[in-house]
Structure 1
Amino acid sequence: MSLCRYLPVPSDRMGIIWSLLSVKDSIILEYGPAGTTHFSMGFYGTLGVDWQHRLFTTHMNEDDVVMGDVTRLEEAIVELDKSYEPKVIFVVASSISAVIGTDIKGVCNYMQKEVQAKLVAFEQGGFRGDYSIGLTEVYKLLVNNLPCKEQKKRKKVFNIIGASMGSYRAASDVWELQNLMREAFGYELHTCLCHETSVDEIGDIGTAEINLVMRQEGLPAAEVLKNKFDMPFVVSAPYGYAATLTWLEEVGKILGQLPDVKMCARLRLKAQNTASLKMYAMMMGRKKHLRQL
């Protein structure tokens, strides 16, 4: 047995599922064996994602794999639609269904007329790369499939794109961004991809004035929204006092509004104090080094 020093990097399939679990009023149906879904549930729980009555599997046996029979998938879609009445059913391919080449999109296309819920297919089975590729696909497919074509803009509203529950303290980052935008510009959060959002909120994502992209995986989705709804965006995260000031200035230019003066003054003072402490620490370290010589 080989020695493993670190846990394996989650695949694109894992990133897709944990992101979709944050979308309320939806259900995730994985077309694959029960074992792959069962063992992943514990991991999703450690991320703080509630998967109860949200994540289901069709189960596959040897006959389904060899013959390519999708009857179980068709029956599961109909059963979930009648039992839970979700607004959206996300059909996700497992590693096995991706290997045998099951046409998930094709099944969703002809099954759409049989159910009330909107069917959205994700054919990645964990073979296209790590979780970052899965996040990119989720953000992009959500903004392509759920938003309405015509949306009326709302004032003082923004979106966040790129909040991943797989990131350390993602919820705290979202909370801090809300506080910054509220204090600096008086703006409120509309929806966040993908953290504690819903099908309806994503459907109205084009009503916001600006998108704040926290990570590069959200950039393709931001480009889609810019083309569809003429929504500007900022790609960066405000970490550190000086970087936060620069970020606020960049956001303010797009909004045509200067950030709160008192808030900026407070951040500049903290940045100066931090620089002074750093210089003091360097001087103390130099004196200690000279005494040792």
Structure 2
Amino acid sequence: MGIHRFKPTMSGRMGTLWTLASIRDAALIEYGCMGHMQYGRMFLNQAGISKRCKLYSTHIDETDISLGDTNRLNRAIAQIVERDKPKIIFLLPSSVPTVIGTDLMAICEELQPQYPNVRLLPFGYGGFDICGHGGVQEALLLLSKTLPKDIQKTQEPTFNIIGSCADLFRFHADAQEMIRIMKGAFGMKKLCVMTSDTCVKEIEDMGGAHINLVIRREGEPAAKQLKKRFKTPYLLARPYGMEETLGWIDKIAQMCGLTPDNSFIKLEKEKIMSQISPAILIFEHIIREHPDEARLSLGGHADVVKGILSYAEKELSLMRGVCWCDCPSMTSEEIPYFSEDEWIQAIKAHKNGLLMASGEALKWAKGNIDLQISNPDIKWRLNLYESPFMGFRGAVNLVSLWLNGILEQIDD
């Protein structure tokens, strides 16, 4: 691991941990060095994930490493089964067991007959060579392969959300807005929010849904797996702004053969336009008189950056500033990956306009903390009912943030 001025980028191990840690009725054992889980638990508490999956770390010492002794892990599993009685135990390696080649899959196969009522499920990606988003993708895929049971479709149309995980900023609010829209537009109920608000049984019942709503590219392999097994169609999209949200609803209607509730959609459109119309007039004035202040720079998850930028440019005519993503495997000509040094230089070079990035970057740049769209965070997020960024209500929230942010810069 190199030297970082700020928090290092999320590793595959952390991506897996943050994906699994929100699942209720489960336990997770990290087989690794002392202290790893403590830092992970602190982030999860800060992000609003607490008292979900039972989190444990075994610790390993020189004897375990030199002799390949895994009895410590065996004892931990036995104690957790007896005390917590989880439905499933996830096993996650840290960097040292990964480097020395500890085979968690073989260990689970050997121990599984001793625990007929508890499933042992090993995960990989414990090393530093896998980025955090790779860990999220592997965790979502493995869950979708192993946990869902053979089940009939629900009588009334239902849906799953795939990819709502603790590493995304404001994940609770965005998922709740999608649930609200699906109920209002189609009368559809959710089966599973994978994984920020779910339990083992809800994942087991995912095959009963009529559509899977995938909100990040890392969730697409899981959706493909569920489509192959249960014939469930999926839609990969993060709807930002009114037009994108209306298009998202239309696609769902076509895929499910449903007719949206026009009264709900009409009311939502009227409410949005009544709220943002005055701001649009001010934006038009600012773009003419203060064009540099109407420039929007973004840094974070590639799907988040792309979606918010599209809304700002297409519906509000704000101008694009410097944009980057936080994962090298997601780099593209439109949204390149920036290392720590690169995004520091990019922020230094663009003094004017709005900056939406991680809380850590905004604090360092002395920017507007209210414009945070990604992690690392600098605050505790205990309020599960904050305003979303996606959907109808997210459209109004973003306009409010942008308008106030621009006016504050002009006043300064």
- 1:249 matches 2:250: yes
Task: Give the letter aligned to residue 80 of structure 2.
Answer: L
Partner of 1:163: 164
Q: Residue 110 of structure 2 aligns to a residue in which SS?
A: helix
1:145 positional shift: 0.9
Aligned residue number for residue 200 of structure 1: 201
**2:127 counterpart of 1:121:** no
Q: Structure 1 residues 261, 97: CA separation in 2 closer, same or farther (over 3 Å shift)? A: same
**What's the CA shift for 1:32?**
1.0
1:84 aligns with 2:93: no
Please list the CA deviations of residues 88-122 of structure 1 after superposition, one character each: whole Å capped at 9, or x if unmatched.
00011011111111000000011000113100001
Structure 2 match to 1:152: 152
Distance apart, 1:182 and its partner CA: 0.3
Secondary structure in 2 aligned to 1:257?
Answer: coil
For residue 263 of structure 1, report the CA deviation from its aligned partner: 2.6
2:283 aligned partner, one-letter code: A
Corresponding letter in the other structure for 1:197: T
- Look up the match of 1:281: 283
Structure 2 counterpart of 1:47: 47
Secondary structure of the residue that 1:176 maps to in structure 2? helix
**Which 10-residue stretch deviates more, 27-36 or 185-194?**
27-36
| Counterparts of 2:289 and 2:96, CA distance in 1 | 63
Structure 1 residue 9 corresponds to structure 2 residue 24? no
From the superposition, tell whether residues 121 and 3 of structure 1 become closer, same or farther in structure 2 (CA, over 3 Å): closer
Alpha carbons 2:161, 2:213 under 8 Å: kept: yes
- The structural deviation recorded for 1:132 is 0.8
Cα distance in 2 for partners of 1:44, 1:22 equals 9
For the residues of structure 2 that align with 1:5 and 1:275, how far apart are their CA atoms?
A: 42
C-alpha change, 1:180 and 1:102, in structure 2 (3 Å) is same
Contact 2:214 2:223 in 1 (8 A): yes
Between the aligned partners of 2:289 and 2:223, the Cα distance in structure 1 is 51
Q: How far off its partner does 1:278 sit? A: 3.2
**How many residue pairs end up in the alignment?**
287
Q: CA deviation at 1:287?
A: 6.4
**Residue 283 of structure 1, CA deviation:** 4.5
1:75 corresponds to which residue?
Answer: 75
- Where in structure 2 are there 5+ consecutive unaligned residues? 292-412
CA drift at 1:269: 4.2
Instruction: Tell me by how many angstroms 1:267 deviates.
Output: 4.3
Asked if 1:235 is matched to 2:236, the reply is yes
Q: CA deviation at 1:86?
A: 0.8
Q: Aligned letter for 1:177?
A: M
1:21-60 → structure 2 map (5 Å cutoff): 21-50=21-50, 54-60=54-60
Counterpart Cα distance in 2 of 1:264 and 1:120:
43
Matched residue type, 1:282: E
8 A Cα contact 2:21 2:53, kept in partner = no
Higher RCO (Cα < 8 Å, 6 or more apart)? 1
- 2:175 equivalent to 1:174: yes
- Provide the C-alpha distance between the structure 1 equivalents of 2:278 and 2:212, rounded to a whole number of angstroms: 35
Listed one character per residue, the Cα deviations across residues 117-168 of structure 1 (whole Å, up to 9, x for unaligned) are 10000122142422211110111010111111x2111022110001011211
1:164, 1:264 → 2: CA distance? Answer: 28
Q: Which deviates the most, 254-263 or 48-57?
A: 48-57
Deviation, 1:257, is 1.2
Q: Distance in 1 between matches of 2:33 and 2:184?
A: 49
1:263-282 alignment runs, 5 A limit: 263-269=264-270, 274=276, 277-278=279-280, 281-282=283-284
Distance in 1, matches of 2:148 and 2:82, equals: 24
Could you list the runs of 5+ residues in structure 1 that have no partner in the other structure? none
- Asked if 1:99 corresponds to 2:111, the answer is no
| Cα displacement (A) at 1:170 | 0.6
Query: What RMSD, in angstroms, separates the aligned Cα atoms of the two structures?
Result: 2.2
2:91 maps to a residue whose letter is V
Mapped to 2, the partners of 1:262 and 1:20 lie a distance apart of: 39
Structure 1 residues 240 and 53, CA, compared in 2 at 3 Å: closer, same or farther? closer
* Contact 1:241–1:270, Cα closer than 8 Å, also in 2: no
Q: Alignment identity in percent?
A: 33
Partner of 2:369: none
TM-score, normalised with respect to structure 2: 0.66
TM-score (normalised: structure 1):
0.91
- Distance, in Å, in 1 between the alignment partners of 2:109 and 2:89 is 13
Equivalent AA in structure 1 for residue 257 of structure 2: G
Query: Secondary structure, in 3 states, of the residue corresponding to 1:108?
Result: helix
CA drift of 1:284 comes to 6.1
User: Post-superposition shift, 1:174?
Assistant: 0.9
SS of the residue corresponding to residue 34 of structure 1 reads coil
State the Cα distance separating 1:234 from its structure 2 match.
0.6
